[in-house]
A = this chain, B = another copy of it.
Amino acid sequence: MAKAPRRGPYICGIDAALDVVSGKWKGLILWELDAHRVRRFSELRRGLPGVSEKMLTQHLREMEEDGLVHREVHAEVPPRVEYSLTEHGRTLNQALGPLGAWGVERIRREGSEVVDTAKTSH
């Protein structure tokens, strides 16, 4: 399988941080894992309406490689795989707090549509 396009040399911290979070569902994955502490693959899938299996797997693999997510495989039948945040994943999520608040303000300002109104805190 082709490797992730690889994280290049960075111009600044924002650059390095954005590289790790950009990806259509990564912010949500971070949020889901932060809220529930531990989540299985299928639970994450249900929590991210519209995500494809391929993208979910791909994002999780990249986030694991970036040291944000811990992946634990339980050798059972049927298989059970649990995902959780590492310490770096948690601190990243904290660092995203102000940005999320700014985004909420932006949505409010221009009355953009929001898909999932159940998640009001971010």
Contact = CB atoms under 8 A, between A and B. Distances in A.
The number of times this chain is found in the oligomer is 2
Question: Contact size class for A?
Answer: 35 or more
The interface residues of chain A, by DSSP majority, are classed as: helix
Contact of A12 (B10, B13, B14, B27): B27
29 contacts: A10-B103, A11-B119, A12-B27, A12-B100, A12-B103, A12-B104, A12-B116, A12-B119, A13-B100, A13-B102, A14-B21, A14-B27, A14-B28, A14-B103, A14-B122, A16-B106, A16-B112, A17-B103, A18-B18, A18-B22, A20-B106, A91-B102, A94-B98, A95-B99, A95-B102, A96-B98, A96-B99, A98-B98, A99-B99
